[in-house]
Structure 1
Amino acid sequence: MSTALLACPSCQSIDVVKNGRTRHQKQNYKCRDCGRQFVENPQWRMISEETKGIIDRLLLEKLPLAGIARALQISELWVQQYVNQKSKNVPQEVQVNPKPKCRLTVQMDELWSFVDDKGNEQWVWLAMDVTTREIVGCYIGDRSGTSAGALWDSLPAVYRSCAVIYSDFWVSYPVALPSKRHRAVGKETGLTSHIERFNCTLRQRVSRLVRKTLSFSNFLENHIGAIWNFIHHYNASLPVNSSCPL
């Protein structure tokens, strides 16, 4: 029996008939013109590319996933699945402007974080070009010399060849960094101030890094993906600025 009260969401035809019930016991309808099956007032709806773009921007603004779902009135489960897939596709290597071989200055520091519970510490190791303010190296792991070495390996080749690197006195740095290029300094010198300021920015912009947060990651790959996602955004937002004097 046709129902004139409903129109097909695909072709707008009103030649619609009842077609049994869904597994949730809602009345199912079928369009005789295009064959589309649908229910009245569906809970599920397709997420537009515009909404996905808004989600991408909100992920850079310290909002928890539940808050994003509430603000956009979409399923929290869908947002979580979207972010999980996005995390898998985020490149985990720095993307910076090419540099000529010349004297470069880099600051390094490590930032405490955790995954699932505070017993599972994950330190965020970062390197910044002092002149351009680009993040030129990143590694997430423990606080050992192996992780410091992974940070060194993440630097573009020109930095490993030419850069003078300033860090604090943490014991892992001398284990991994070439002694001729490494300078351990205190906070009072100001020679690590830029990377320390970026650590504050990272905590303020990535919800998973906010202290005493309920937005922490349950899975390491999502934690790493969120950090790399912000680093790529941060580097892309910087003005082009050569590290070497003309």
Structure 2
Amino acid sequence: MSPLTCPSCGSRKVVKNGRIHSGKQNHKCRYCGRQFVEEPQQKSTKDLIDKLLLEKIPLAGIARVCDVSESWLQDYVNGKYAAVPQTVNVSSKKKPRLTIQCDEMWSFVNDKGNKQWIWLALDVATREIVGVYVGARSQQGARQLWNSLPGVYRQCAVAYTDFWDAYGCVFPKKRHHAVGKETGKTSYIERFNCTMRQRVSRLVRKTLSFSKKLDNHIGAIWMFVHHYNASLQY
């Protein structure tokens, strides 16, 4: 068995230096002070964590499954969610006959008094999520949802929503239809809301896995939306 070499300076003056959180042997270079483990599995662990973040599993559960510390995992998740793009990435569309369904879904951050409504728009033909905004259930929220839509939808899409007044104040009147659930005209977006609640643990109505930080709340929603849209292309 060949002696260990430091990955930073190449020195062979390496000694054992305790164990890391997963129990693996840690080493330290006497020459430059670099600490490291043999055959690190960090990349595969991160890949697994990325997949688990898209399932209804709390962070404490992910830490146990992946054998990492909760503090390390929280730091990783903070960086992961901060890097998630907050614009929709959808397939190209032709202008004629675009139809969307829109709805708002209740959620909260830290406590139920801090309501954060998730505004969503879904393309009826492709089932893609084409608009997202997280914030107040107000005219400003409807405006932000409208602004999040790609230009082709703002130019010509017909929108079906519930009877919340904010939609009528923002969406073009000639292309906006407020309808009841019994019509089935908002059934696709309502089904997606159900899917989100079942897949994203922080959105489950009665949960201990609620968001403590608004940025992570928004990042988790966007991460799932990107995953969902990408899955429709396979």
TM-score range, shorter chain: 0.7 to 0.9
Number of aligned pairs?
221
Alignment CA distance shift 1:211-1:17 (3 Å) = closer
Conserved in 2, the CA contact under 8 Å of 1:116 and 1:218? Answer: yes
Does residue 202 (structure 1) correspond to residue 207 (structure 2)? The answer is: no
Conserved in 2, the CA contact under 8 Å of 1:208 and 1:215? Answer: yes
Which of 77, 91, 103 aligns to 2:97? It is: 103
CA distance in 2: counterparts of 1:81 and 1:30, whole angstroms? 24
Name the SS for the 1:126 alignment partner: strand
Instruction: Tell me which residue corresponds to 1:127.
Output: 121
Instruction: Tell me which residue corresponds to 1:58.
Output: 52
Alignment CA distance shift 1:47-1:211 (3 Å) = farther
CA distance in 2: counterparts of 1:194 and 1:230, whole angstroms? 17
Alignment CA distance shift 1:13-1:162 (3 Å) = closer
Name the SS for the 1:109 alignment partner: strand
Instruction: Tell me which residue corresponds to 1:75.
Output: 69
Amino acid across the alignment from 1:147: G
Instruction: Tell me which residue corresponds to 1:163.
Output: 157
Matches within 5 A, 1:35-54: 36=33, 48-54=42-48
Residue ranges of structure 1 left out of the alignment (5+ in a row): 1-6, 20-27, 241-246
Give 1:36 deviation, angstroms: 5.0
Q: Identity across aligned pairs (percent)?
A: 63
Does residue 150 (structure 1) correspond to residue 150 (structure 2)? The answer is: no
CA distance in 1: counterparts of 2:64 and 2:52, whole angstroms? 12
TM-score (norm: length of structure 2): 0.86
CA distance in 1: counterparts of 2:100 and 2:169, whole angstroms? 17
Give 1:161 deviation, angstroms: 1.1
Alignment CA distance shift 1:120-1:31 (3 Å) = closer
Query: Which deviates further from its counterpart, 155-164 or 8-17?
Result: 8-17
CA distance in 1: counterparts of 2:27 and 2:98, whole angstroms? 67
Give 1:8 deviation, angstroms: 4.9
Structure with max Cα Rg: 1
Q: Which runs of 4+ in 1 moved over 2 A?
A: 7-19, 28-32, 34-39
TM-score (norm: length of structure 1): 0.82
Name the SS for the 2:209 alignment partner: coil
Instruction: Tell me which residue corresponds to 2:173.
Output: 179
Alignment CA distance shift 1:67-1:166 (3 Å) = same
Give 1:205 deviation, angstroms: 0.8
Name the SS for the 1:131 alignment partner: coil
Residue ranges of structure 2 left out of the alignment (5+ in a row): 18-25
Conserved in 1, the CA contact under 8 Å of 2:6 and 2:12? Answer: no
CA distance in 2: counterparts of 1:227 and 1:152, whole angstroms? 18
Amino acid across the alignment from 2:225: I
